[in-house]
Structure 1
């Protein structure tokens, strides 16, 4: 994977996208900044503007500002989606004054409990922004981190009152043991509120290096599982893998004492998404043909769906044949971008 694109295409795309808000229709995330970073990371920077042209009907103007977020009033602004522009401004100022790693380290533990906000898209957007900054720092990439953190702060949403069940030894077995919520519930928030029980997995992990190992295991397990369970909800179930992978991508830019809490939050989010959308029965999926990583990327780009591209990006991070099969399954199940 090439994460050192120097063509300027990613920067031009981000500058173009920063005139848009983080959501549309008040509830659907703007996926474009995440997708263009993923494409650039996999050698497809030349395609980013063409992809944006296909996606632009899903973009809305940047939202209005209300009042500045400050060191004194930020707790009252946390989780207020009307303050998205104010939060983006706040992080833009912070990143102009401090190294981005310092800003990330300060705000990560404040934002992590609200991982569920925006259906986990904000933390995924942060993960993409961090990866781009780790490969090369410049102003458009810093601005993207400000937009990602600002979006997360604006839609910050916590979950409490979930009973813990005994977990299994592995992430895969624990995901299999997640109780499904009742059928017929509609909407992410409604379904999330119905999650009342989740297995406890890796709850005793405190060592940072073990936390990274367990998080890597979780991302692989959730990615592999999509091949047999993605038909439960082809779009939303990708987040069981992409959300923890965003956390995993961010670890190396965070203080080590934050790695174990990050694992625990990522597991809970992945398990919750699994509970919300898992199908009644798995299927034994066999792809029509075995594709190389490069072929899967090309097919995902041709398909165009934002979740397909981001899930393929995570599958390539996992890097094994089962992950590539899962990416093919996402392409097969999902509706192509018009």
Structure 2
């Protein structure tokens, strides 16, 4: 889908928005992730470039300025800086220098396996930001603002590295739909994501269910299984999103970010990418999905474009990025299957724009 607005200048609008956002930090109010780059990319992707800057005018008012650098990260000591959010600007500089010297795909292929184990950091927002950056580079081409966005996304991921407190090794035969349906919930609800992660090792049946997923060996089969995971997590939100309307969107948007990145990665990294994306989805689902289902809104009379238009009108960044994923799922659905669009409508119903 072409990034454009009515004036044919969608690429310019997105690049300008990214440049504006790079003056802000990756988080605000102490820990909330800056969704600006993800939301504006999604809006540009779906033909809403004309409203990007107006949306950003309002969103920027709550963002913090970009933090300053501390001291240089080098090839010799980068491991010591992993997980240090206070050095996020150092990370941006370090990876930005590499992107200036080498092709972006080569830099991504080097850092992806280094960062992938820490996908749980910042509730998976860094990998989601990477997925949006890569989609633009793959589909729209390379320029300075887009390379800079990839540096910021990878730098944020490095600075927020966090591994789950339990090793996940999926090696069974279950489909994503079956594995998701079998996932237990953590005992203590309404907690921070870190507190939720901490409960996973003692949640009866969680690890066995996570390990039951099938991870194929063939790369194309991996892609199909990851696509199925994104679909299952999106439809799961339609039924169980009321557990936490904001946080459960990441159970779908995180694996979709990985799916979008696969074409830019060597195929030997695809299997581990699926396994890790599934671990993140399973963790977020166990922590935030409701215990029992509820009906979601009926989307049978709406087109995908109308659903995304409603998400933009709603205005919340989580609703926008989830609608973006829901449209990916809807594009691959059988004729007449509007459940992914219903999930997007459910997010708009559950998320208060003032809570973002």
TM-score normalized with structure 1 length = 0.96
- Out of 289, 304, 307, which is 1:296 matched to? 307
Alignment of 1:103 with 2:114, yes or no, is no
Q: Deviations over 1:117-164 (max 9, x none)?
A: 111000000000000111221100110000000000000001233577
CA 1:23–1:42: 2 relative to 1, 3 Å: same
Q: Which residue of 1 aligns with 2:153?
A: 148
Alignment of 1:265 with 2:265, yes or no, is no
Question: 1:58, CA displacement in angstroms?
Answer: 2.2
- Residue 200 of structure 2 aligns to a residue whose secondary structure is coil
Q: Which residue of 2 aligns with 1:63?
A: 67
Unmatched 5+ residue regions in structure 1? none
Give the Cα separation in 2 of the matches to 1:42 and 1:318. 14
Alignment of 1:243 with 2:254, yes or no, is yes
Greater Cα shift, 184-193 or 205-214: 184-193
- Out of 182, 188, 213, which is 2:187 matched to? 182
Alignment of 1:30 with 2:19, yes or no, is no
Give the Cα separation in 1 of the matches to 2:255 and 2:168. 21
Alignment of 1:282 with 2:256, yes or no, is no
- Residue 174 of structure 1 aligns to a residue whose secondary structure is helix
- Residue 51 of structure 1 aligns to a residue whose secondary structure is helix
Give the Cα separation in 2 of the matches to 1:288 and 1:265. 32
Determine if contact 2:18/2:149 at 8 Å carries over to the other structure. Answer: yes
- Out of 100, 113, 130, which is 1:126 matched to? 130
1:73-222 counterparts in 2 under 5 A?
73-134=77-138, 135-162=140-167, 169-196=174-201, 197-198=206-207, 199=209, 200-222=211-233
Give the Cα separation in 1 of the matches to 2:257 and 2:55. 22
Question: 1:179, CA displacement in angstroms?
Answer: 1.2
Determine if contact 2:180/2:282 at 8 Å carries over to the other structure. Answer: yes
Determine if contact 2:172/2:214 at 8 Å carries over to the other structure. Answer: no
- Out of 9, 22, 27, which is 1:18 matched to? 22
Give the Cα separation in 1 of the matches to 2:279 and 2:170. 12
Give the Cα separation in 1 of the matches to 2:110 and 2:173. 33
Determine if contact 1:92/1:146 at 8 Å carries over to the other structure. Answer: yes
Q: Deviations over 1:89-142 (max 9, x none)?
A: 011100000000000000000000000011100000000000011122110011
Determine if contact 1:167/1:177 at 8 Å carries over to the other structure. Answer: no
- Residue 95 of structure 2 aligns to a residue whose secondary structure is helix
Unmatched 5+ residue regions in structure 2? none
Give the Cα separation in 2 of the matches to 1:186 and 1:166. 30
- Runs of 4+ in structure 1 over 3 Å off: 3-7, 162-168, 201-204
Question: 1:208, CA displacement in angstroms?
Answer: 1.2
- Out of 51, 56, 78, which is 1:52 matched to? 56
